[in-house]
Amino acid sequence: MILNKRYTRNIKANLPFYAAATVLTMVTLLMFYLFYIAGTGIHAFGDTFFSRYKLESATFSTYKEIPDEELVSLEKQYDVTLEKEHFVGVDDGEVRVRVFMPNRKIDLYEIQEGKEPGADDEVLISAGYAVENGVRPGDAVSIGGRTYTVAGTFLRPDYLYMVENESDDYKNVTSFFLAYMTENEFTERFGGGSIQNKVIYGERTDETAFRKRIDSDYFMSGYLGSDHNLRVTFVYEQADMFIMSSWFILVIFPLLTVALVCILLGRRIRSEQKLIGTLSALGYTKAGLMRHYSLFALIPGVIGGLLTSVAALILAKPFGSLGLADYEPMKPDFRLPVWVAVAGVVIPALIYYIAAMVRVHRLLRADTVRLLAGQVGNDAGGRRVLARKRVPVRRKFALRQIVGSPGRSFVIFLGIFLGAMIVAFAFSFLDSVRAVGKRGPRRIRQLQVRIYSELSQGRKARGWRSRIRASVRRSAITALYPDGP
């Protein structure tokens, strides 16, 4: 007898099972590839973009302006790169604009579409706002009551996640944008504007000594490192979350399919136990029979893995672009490494194979005589539950069905649990949003009253200390930078 001939017959007889398991595998791998391609592509883009366009190490401001000649001296003494950034905030009613004079050394910009401004009546605007509002090069925008022609759009490294203020929780590309004017136009309209200082630390920089020197000589009023700047850190934080989630999905999600594979495969083996006993009596080893039946579990893993991996290799760019919704219109080079595609095939298939081997091994430990008699898996333990109890037959039957088929009961419970968890999470999210809208303003007013009361009485606000600090910090920043950072 040639066992290999049974593979085709088995697949035809159990086609719905293999189709369902293959689809589950493909869905799992699809989610894995979506997260992995997006995460690695965004992370690599951030590394390259930040290096190429000279991302700041920190932004700081001082009560006393640092003279230009002193900037050169500080650069040599502390191995840093320093530059003053001139900017101004303009409120045009429904739209707010942060206008910059172009930098020369730090936080440079990359033109995404169009060209550099060639005249004083031309500006560059941030690409996210342009895409969101359908603004193209050649269109007109109003800044402070004056109309300018859009020469092009740009990205800059410290605004890849476009939040207007550091205290904001989410991007704003509908009513806020950045703009670059020519140096002549900026000076004519706004003079020097507001000034903040940008710094890039070198390999030999003593950051503590540098900050002490600035604070001692020029009275530092604010300092924000790039590793605490949401506009910068969000790039890496979300990319890392995508990558971590992808591997979690690849390992955990196939286990749900494993439960189904083991249960159905176990039933299949029990239904063929007489044949297995016959094969064992004819000389087939248990190891060979285990491999034979375990190979059935490889089918959904290999087929689903190959189909999805090939699709991901071809469609890596559209896959990765799905993770760019929160960023400025970046253009990462999304690609799927071949080794990851191979892992996407091997890991689910290996999980299925090992789980099936364990299941088959447990069934084949029975004696050959019992297999030939068809007695394996037919123990009456489940049928004796509550045998001597005076319980309604309906309840006895229901309990015996649960106890007698633990695998089936587990799958049913798992489905109910996951469904209930998803529904409960959705409703809790909706309830939280409604609660914020209803009770949020009242709670904020109560908190403000409590904070001002504690401060006015000169007592330590126990339990509210962190919130007081945050409130004072926001007030100080607003007072120091009315036009925004």
What is the per-residue pLDDT for 152? 93
- Quote the crossing angle between the two packed helices 230-271 and 273-281, to the nearest 10°: 70
Amino acid identity, residue 370?
A: R
For residue 175, the 8-state DSSP code is S
Q: Rounded CA gap, 402 and 259, in Å?
A: 16
Q: What is the CA radius of gyration of the chain?
A: 33
What is the structure's pLDDT at 407?
Answer: 61
Burial label for 450, CB within 10 Å (0-12, 13-18, 19+), is middle
Phi, psi of 178 (to 5 degrees): -100, 155
Q: What are the residues whose beta carbons fall under 8 Å from the beta carbon of 416, sequence distance 6 or more?
A: none
Cα–Cα distance for residue pair 402/407, rounded to 1 Å: 9
Q: How far apart are CA 428 and CA 437, in angstroms?
A: 14
Q: Which of 139, 174, 177 is nearest to 155 (CA)?
A: 177
DSSP 316-362: HHHHHHTT-TTSSS--------HHHHHHHHHHHHHHHHHHHHHHHHH
What DSSP character marks residue 464?
T
Q: Strands 176-180 and 122-126, how do they pair?
A: antiparallel
pTM, 2 dp: 0.69
| Residue 482: predicted pLDDT | 46
pLDDT tens, residue order, the chain (485 aa): 455 566 677 677 777 777 877 888 888 888 888 888 988 999 999 999 999 999 999 999 999 999 988 999 999 999 999 999 999 999 888 889 999 999 999 999 999 999 999 898 999 999 999 999 999 999 999 998 889 999 999 999 999 999 888 777 788 888 899 999 999 999 998 888 899 999 999 989 999 999 999 999 999 888 988 888 888 988 888 888 888 888 887 777 766 666 666 666 666 666 667 777 777 777 777 777 777 777 777 888 888 888 888 888 888 888 788 788 888 888 888 888 888 888 888 888 888 888 778 777 777 776 666 666 665 655 545 555 555 666 676 766 666 666 666 666 666 776 777 678 778 877 887 787 777 667 666 666 666 666 656 555 554 444 444 554 555 445 544 444 445 44
3-state helix, strand, coil split of the chain in percent (to 5) is 60, 15, 25
CB 343 within 8 A of CB 177: no
